[in-house]
């Protein structure tokens, strides 16, 4: 006799009880949620200290050097502003009148708060601040604060200085104020994002045909992201939170919040259509679809928390922020939404009962038949097509945003373009080479020679400045590359300068480092690029393990993970075509091409992993359910697809709309992320999950659901579809309403076995067979076929609770089995199980144990003992003879 053991999750049972309690106390639940949202959101907004949008990596070479400069040479370590003066052709900024006007403007700029130095373009120490044709000049204003700490009043006063310079020179002059100090990289919501909610509303209306049903997911999603954003702003009082993290949390929270509500609401309406009572339907929908929601949310959360593998603080913060939004979405789905469904009551019941439906060929029937008619052809077309779409991803360049990625027409972008036109692209992203010259006997001479050598390196347009600090401790060389800040050539120049560190030490006796905003961005991008492989392995490994536990299969997780990689690759490829090659830039309002924000790949991989697993779970779980019930693999693919396709399509369309709405007017940081997620969701839902997956499952047939028995026993069963709850509900009144049996079994023993309080039951047979029965009754092993209850608890679903109440004595494993049996019987537990009573040596000891068992039975204990042969001296209430029987889980 063989029993396959499973450790089943009690999640669905717990959610059923939670939902039932929420339904009973619906008004109280809604009130508590609304009060919590108002209180927490209000407190978060009051505590907010503002977002911190400084993307740095503590300990990186560039950041370490920049931190050193901030202590010993603050005049060059903070943010800088550029006041750019241009004259029409024929004008010359070197004229004395212009020089005088520039000098007055520099004096006014020095009086602006946080300004520590103003560098005139005519300063003899500075090179390249006047264009070669004499039509442009740049005044550099150095601040003592970082880019993210520049206040609006500082920008306004510098803009006023620029306007005064224009008035001094005359109407022919064009004066711009820009530079890093004028960068506005904080993402903001715009009315365009509301289009995503409108599309979601339309999809929900089409799906449900009810304004109430369509409004519930939107309402709860908006409340959830409002709470998430407020809490994140509250966290800024004690920790730095980038505004990009808040925007990512809003974007992801909206998408999953609507989808999770959709899954539960859809299951609820299906059950109402079948005639189920409203309150019971809510509890069951929360237990079944809600279990899937919890699992789906867990996969997203784990993937987001996995962003910490990169070891970059701001990326870890982004993962935590987005994970918070998902946690809130899950909590709302399994507690707040059941209360709202209870309030809606019968108004959510579909009008047309399912039995009146005429069997017609739905679009989903045609879809799945087309996808599975020639599964090999479908697989080849999808794999080769998505593989080809991935190829442009090899061109993708990663960089942090600079002023060249600001919106066209903004002060920072106009200044950036003007500087590029007159001075070259490298002037917008100078590098700083620092040198430790504290031991130098000729700091000025050493810095001049170092600057001259660097000026001759490939990729250097010019060295604008080479000087020691006033105390002679640290020197700087301001290097102007001949390429744009986010170009590969500039990255190569940084590496070239760092490779020369040993040479510079030997030649000048100084340790050097390369820093500046451009170098910091290059280091961040390099660290993020290096984290992609370990993070990818983490995500892929997690995918394989989780899906193996859910679907009890080897092929399904492998297929799901391969499909996820195809989706990610296609999303990267599409992003490269738009943001690298410049396709559809006008349509999508893309203001900058050539690179994408550095953390896009790792964010995309993490978020899309969770979303892809959502679709995989809701589609394949229905197919698996059909296969378990029918054993027909081909029918399971067709029936499961038709049952789940409408919900998956609606969820994917909503997710796509929410992400796509952030593209047209999204900020520089959010736009490429939103675009990549929108493409990834579309590809994964419609091409991978709804086309490739049915084809693979049809091709594999029964082999798709094979899992080695040893692995099957080792892995816990998550039961995300709530099969355990369904079994509990079905056996609620079994073996009969009001039954008080301590043990009731049907299907395991040759005949049904029932034992009530005070009975002593003897089970005889081969030790392996009797042991399996005893352990199954005691909740020690699961996978029991047929129906079984112990102490009124359904097995195997309530096995943990049974184990807590039942006492088991294993005589073959004990040195003094008689004494242990007598002691256990003296405790009079509700159910006492004794394995191998015949293994007690000596008739006197065995008789003493039997007397103790009967004494416990007289106190109300149900006793079940096992032995190889019947023992008439026990005087059992009944004896069960187990013939060898093959039992399967």
Top-ranked range on mean pLDDT: pick from 370-384, 600-614, 726-740, 786-800: 370-384
Can you name the CATH fold of 368-421+522-707? Multidrug efflux transporter AcrB transmembrane fold (1.20.1640)
Q: What percent of the chain has pLDDT over 70?
A: 90
- Measured between alpha carbons, how far is 539 from 550 in angstroms, rounded to an integer? 16
* Cα–Cα nearest to 131, from 178, 184, 94: 94
- Measured between alpha carbons, how far is 56 from 77 in angstroms, rounded to an integer? 14
Q: Which residue has 């590809």 as its token pair? A: 683
Q: Read off the pLDDT band of 722 (50, 70, 90).
A: low
Cis peptide before 342 (omega within 30 of 0): no
Interhelix angle 633-660/243-273, rounded to 10 degrees, is: 140
Half-sphere exposure for 275 (CA within 13 Å, toward CB) = 3
DSSP 663: S
**Weakest-pLDDT range from 70-79, 534-543, 551-560:** 70-79
Domain ranges for the chain, please list them.
1-47+191-350, 61-184+422-518, 368-421+522-707, 726-881
Burial of 727: CB neighbours in 10 Å, binned 0-12, 13-18, 19+:
middle
Mean pLDDT value across residues 525-549: 81
Buried b (16+ CB within 10 A) or exposed e, 370-390: ebbeebeebbeebeeebeebb
- Phi, psi (rounded to 5 degrees) for 269: -70, -35
Residue 26 has a pLDDT of 93
Kindly report, residue by residue over 824-849, the tens digit of the pLDDT.
999 999 999 999 998 888 889 899 99
Mean pLDDT value across residues 486-505: 90
Burial of 785: CB neighbours in 10 Å, binned 0-12, 13-18, 19+:
middle
What is the longest distance spanned by two Cα atoms in the chain?
123
Question: Is residue 689 predicted with pLDDT exceeding 70?
Answer: yes
Question: Which positions ≥6 away from 304 have C-beta within 8 Å?
Answer: 319, 320, 322, 323, 326, 606, 607, 610
Interhelix angle 243-273/670-682, rounded to 10 degrees, is: 30
Top-ranked range on mean pLDDT: pick from 377-391, 499-513, 708-722, 737-751: 377-391
| End-to-end CA gap in the chain | 12
Residue 17 has a pLDDT of 87
Query: Do residues 722 and 294 touch, judged by C-beta distance below 8 A?
Result: no
- Measured between alpha carbons, how far is 597 from 59 in angstroms, rounded to an integer? 21
Residue 357 has a pLDDT of 44
Question: Is residue 30 predicted with pLDDT exceeding 90?
Answer: yes
Mean pLDDT value across residues 265-290: 88
Q: Read off the pLDDT band of 1 (50, 70, 90).
A: very low
What DSSP assignment string belongs to 373-421? Answer: HSHHHHHHHHHHHHHHHHGGGGG--EE---GGGSPTTSHHHHHHHHHHH
- Residue 123 CA: distances (Å) to CA of 79, 111, 130, 723: 20, 19, 10, 79
Q: Read off the pLDDT band of 717 (50, 70, 90).
A: low
Residue 640 has a pLDDT of 87
Of residues 417 and 412, more confidently modeled: 417
Beta strands in 675-769 (DSSP E): 743-746, 753-755, 760-764
Kindly report, residue by residue over 130-161, the tens digit of the pLDDT.
888 888 888 888 887 777 777 888 888 988 98
Question: Is residue 699 predicted with pLDDT exceeding 90?
Answer: yes
Q: Read off the pLDDT band of 35 (50, 70, 90).
A: very high
Residue 3 has a pLDDT of 35
- Measured between alpha carbons, how far is 529 from 514 in angstroms, rounded to an integer? 20
Residue 265 has a pLDDT of 92
Residue 757 has a pLDDT of 92
Q: Where are the alpha helices (DSSP H) in 88-169?
A: 96-110, 152-169
- Phi, psi (rounded to 5 degrees) for 758: 85, 0
For the chain, give the mean pLDDT.
83
Same fold, 1-47+191-350 and 368-421+522-707: yes
Torsion of CA 519, 523, 524, 530, to 10 degrees: 160
**Weakest-pLDDT range from 266-275, 358-367, 553-562, 847-856:** 358-367
Options 3.90.1570.10, 3.40.50.720, 1.25.40.10, 3.40.50.300; CATH of 726-881: 3.40.50.300
pTM: 0.77
Question: Does the domain made of 1-47+191-350 have the CATH classification 3.40.190.10?
Answer: no
Question: Which positions ≥6 away from 34 have C-beta within 8 Å?
Answer: none
Mean pLDDT value across residues 487-492: 88
Pairing relation of β-strands 787-790 and 806-810?
unpaired
- Residue 464 CA: distances (Å) to CA of 70, 100, 406: 20, 22, 25
Q: Read off the pLDDT band of 4 (50, 70, 90).
A: very low
In angstroms, how far is CA 530 from the centroid of its own chain?
19
Kindly report, residue by residue over 318-342, the tens digit of the pLDDT.
889 889 999 999 999 999 999 999 9
- Measured between alpha carbons, how far is 712 from 548 in angstroms, rounded to an integer? 9
- Measured between alpha carbons, how far is 660 from 727 in angstroms, rounded to an integer? 42
- Measured between alpha carbons, how far is 785 from 727 in angstroms, rounded to an integer? 12
Residue 142 has a pLDDT of 84
Query: Do residues 507 and 47 touch, judged by C-beta distance below 8 A?
Result: no
Beta strands in 711-861 (DSSP E): 743-746, 753-755, 760-764, 787-790, 793-794, 806-810, 831-835
Question: Is residue 2 predicted with pLDDT exceeding 50?
Answer: no
Residue 6 has a pLDDT of 38
DSSP 554: S
Q: Domain 61-184+422-518 is in which class? A: alpha beta
């Amino acid at each position: 006799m063989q029993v396959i053991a499973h450790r089943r999750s009690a999640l669905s049972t717990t959610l059923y009880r939670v939902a039932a309690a929420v339904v009973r106390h619906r008004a109280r639940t809604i009130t508590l949620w609304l009060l919590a949202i108002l209180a927490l959101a209000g407190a978060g907004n009051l505590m907010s200290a503002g977002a911190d949008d400084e993307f740095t990596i503590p300990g990186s070479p560039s950041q370490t050097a920049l931190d050193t400069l901030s202590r010993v040479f603050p005049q060059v370590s903070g943010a800088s502003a550029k006041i750019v003066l241009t004259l029409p052709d024929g004008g010359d900024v070197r004229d004395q009148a212009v020089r005088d006007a520039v000098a007055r403007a520099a004096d006014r700029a020095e009086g602006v708060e946080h300004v520590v130095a103003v560098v005139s373009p005519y300063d003899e120490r500075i090179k390249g601040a006047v264009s070669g044709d004499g039509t442009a000049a740049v005044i550099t204003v150095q601040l003592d604060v970082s880019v993210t700490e520049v206040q609006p009043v500082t920008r306004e006063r510098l803009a006023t200085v620029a306007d005064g310079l224009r008035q001094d020179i005359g109407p022919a002059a064009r004066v711009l104020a820009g530079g890093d100090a004028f960068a506005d990289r904080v993402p903001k919501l715009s009315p365009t994002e509301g289009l995503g909610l409108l599309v979601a509303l339309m999809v929900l209306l089409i799906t449900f045909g009810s304004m109430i049903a369509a409004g519930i997911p939107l309402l709860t999603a908006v409340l959830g992201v409002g709470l998430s954003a407020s809490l994140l702003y509250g966290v800024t009082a004690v920790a730095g939170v980038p505004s990009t993290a808040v925007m990512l949390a809003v974007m992801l929270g909206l998408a999953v919040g609507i989808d999770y509500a959709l899954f539960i609401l859809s299951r609820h309406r299906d059950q109402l259509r079948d005639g189920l009572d409203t309150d019971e339907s809510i509890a069951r929908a929360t237990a079944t679809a809600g279990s899937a929601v919890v699992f789906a949310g867990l996969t997203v959360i784990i993937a987001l928390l996995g962003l910490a593998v990169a070891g970059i603080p701001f990326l870890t913060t982004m993962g935590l922020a987005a994970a918070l939004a998902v946690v809130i979405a899950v909590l709302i789905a399994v507690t707040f939404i059941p209360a709202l469904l209870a309030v809606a009551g019968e108004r959510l019941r579909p009008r047309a009962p399912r039995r009146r439906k005429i069997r017609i060929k739905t679009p989903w029937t045609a879809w799945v038949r087309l996808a599975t008619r020639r599964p090999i052809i479908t697989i080849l077309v999808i794999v080769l097509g998505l593989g080809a779409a991935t190829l442009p991803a090899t061109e993708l360049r990663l960089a942090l945003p600079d002023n060249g990625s600001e919106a066209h027409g903004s002060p920072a972008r106009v200044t950036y373009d003007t500087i590029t036109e007159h001075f070259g692209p490298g002037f917008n992203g100078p590098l700083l080479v620092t040198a430790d010259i504290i031991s130098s006997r000729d700091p000025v001479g050493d810095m001049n020679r170092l600057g001259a050598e660097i000026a001759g390196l490939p990729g250097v347009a010019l060295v604008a400045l080479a000087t020691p600090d006033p105390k002679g401790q640290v020197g700087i060389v301001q290097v102007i590359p001949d390429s744009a800040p986010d170009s590969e050539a500039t990255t190569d120049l940084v590496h070239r300068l760092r490779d020369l560190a040993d040479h510079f030490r030997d030649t000048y006796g100084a340790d050097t480092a390369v820093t500046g905003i451009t170098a910091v961005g290059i280091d961040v991008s390099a660290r993020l690029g290096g984290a992609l492989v370990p993070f990818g392995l983490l995500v892929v490994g997690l995918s394989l393990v989780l899906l193996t536990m859910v679907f009890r299969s080897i092929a399904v997780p492998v297929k799901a993970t391969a499909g996820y990689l195809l989706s990610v690759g296609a999303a990267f490829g599409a992003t490269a075509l738009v943001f690298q090659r410049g396709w559809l830039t006008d349509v999508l309002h893309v203001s900058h091409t050539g690179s994408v924000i550095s953390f896009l790949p790792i964010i995309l991989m993490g978020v899309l992993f969770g979303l892809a697993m959502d679709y995989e779970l809701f589609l394949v779980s229905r197919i698996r359910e059909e296969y378990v019930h029918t054993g027909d693999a081909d029918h399971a693919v067709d029936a499961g697809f038709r049952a789940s396709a409408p919900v998956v399509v609606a969820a994917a369309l909503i997710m796509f709309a929410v992400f796509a709405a952030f593209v047209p007017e999204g900020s520089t940081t959010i736009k490429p992320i939103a675009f990549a997620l929108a493409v990834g969701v579309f590809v994964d839902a419609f091409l991978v999950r709804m086309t490739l997956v049915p084809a693979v499952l049809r091709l594999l047939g029964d082999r798709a659901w094979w899992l080695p028995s040893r692995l099957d026993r080792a892995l816990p069963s998550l039961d995300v579809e709530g099969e355990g709850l369904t079994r509990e509900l079905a056996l609620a009144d079994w073996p009969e309403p009001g039954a008080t049996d301590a043990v009731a079994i049907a299907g395991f023993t040759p005949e049904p076995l029932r034992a009530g309080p005070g009975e002593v039951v003897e089970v005889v047979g081969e030790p392996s067979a009797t042991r399996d029965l005893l352990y199954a009754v005691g909740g020690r092993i699961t996978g029991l076929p047929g129906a079984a209850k112990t102490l009124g608890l359904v097995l195997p679903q309530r096995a943990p609770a049974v184990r807590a109440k039942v006492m088991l004595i294993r005589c073959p494993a004990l040195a003094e089995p008689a004494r242990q049996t007598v002691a256990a019987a003296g405790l009079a537990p509700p159910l006492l199980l004794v394995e191998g009573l015949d293994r007690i040596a000596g008739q006197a000891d065995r008789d003493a144990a039997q007397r103790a068992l009967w004494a416990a039975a007289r106190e109300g204990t149900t006793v079940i003992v096992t032995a190889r042969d019947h023992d008439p001296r026990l005087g059992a209430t009944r004896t069960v003879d187990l013939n060898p029987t093959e039992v399967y889980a």
